[in-house]
Amino acid sequence: MSELDKAILFSEAAGKESIEDLAADFYIGSYFNAVARQVESRVQVGEDRSGMRIPMLLFNIQEQNKRTKKKLVGTLKKYLLDAVQHEIETVAEEAWASLGKNLPQKPVPPYGEGDTERAFEYLEAAKGRFEEARVATTRPGQYAGSPWMKIADTAQNLWREGELASDELLVKIFHLEHNNGLVFENRLKTLFDIRNEELSLSDLMNKLEDVVRDKTRITKWRKMYNELYRLIQNASPDWRAKLLPLFKKTENSPYF
């Protein structure tokens, strides 16, 4: 089990949401939002009765996606910070002790969610510690070192960008590697397994419903999906011809 897995399990035991649920929510929301944007670009408000309701539904989809992303960013900030702290205080400390090295002063982690400056300083100090471990060890690649320097650096970027973090940065976090493989390999196995499949949005929701703990996450997206699909089906033939194919295309899906 990776150090980040341990940090995640600790957080979940304290009542926080699982990373699987948040990642599935983000993935579906990103896909749905991409579909919604393409639908929106083709909608002419007032063309028929359904057209008056479609823009509002598209707005709700986009707002739901923003809320999902905000929650994921906040959770990942804490998870990455916990993992870096654990690697410094447990793994690196044991390694230094085994080499007879004196530990430098430990950086003090931030305690408040909004303490961005202290978090950034802590992660900067952590990168220095990981570099020291890389240079000092006689067993390179087993702990700390370059992989954890990259994890700390990526965590800094997330703390810096906060709610404005790009989808690309979040996907990069899901693909971070520590010394023994992908950080989230076990936690997000289903998502990694399906990333190369050609799935429609409906297929994706069906697949992810089997792995999330909180089924209401899928229910809320499916409800909006069904409503949008129904409105388009009831629209004019021209609208149906333009919009229904968007529900089958797979290029809307972000690379995960």
Residue 38 lies in a domain: yes
Residue 79 lies in a domain: yes
pLDDT, one tens digit for every residue, the chain (256 residues):
454 455 444 444 444 678 888 888 888 888 888 888 777 777 655 455 555 577 788 888 889 888 888 889 988 888 888 888 888 776 666 666 665 555 545 555 555 556 788 888 888 888 887 877 666 555 555 667 788 889 999 999 999 898 888 888 998 898 888 877 777 777 677 777 776 677 788 888 888 887 788 888 889 999 988 888 888 887 778 777 877 777 775 554 444 4
Cα–Cα distance between 172 and 178 in angstroms, integer?
13
DSSP secondary structure string, 137-172? -SSTTSSSHHHHHHHHHHHHHHHHHGGG--HHHHHH
Closest to 92 in 3D by CA, of 118, 127, 67, 48:
127
Residue 254 lies in a domain: no
Q: How many domains does the chain have?
A: 1
> Distances from the Cα of 172 to the Cαs of 1, 119, 155, 178, in angstroms?
20, 20, 11, 13
Q: 227 and 207 in contact (C-beta within 8 Å)? A: no
> Distances from the Cα of 159 to the Cαs of 67, 68, 71, 149, 203, in angstroms?
17, 17, 13, 15, 33
Residue 150 lies in a domain: yes
Residue 256 lies in a domain: no
Residue 253 lies in a domain: no
Residue 126 lies in a domain: yes
Task: State which residues form the domain around 133.
Answer: 3-247
Closest to 195 in 3D by CA, of 224, 175, 220:
175
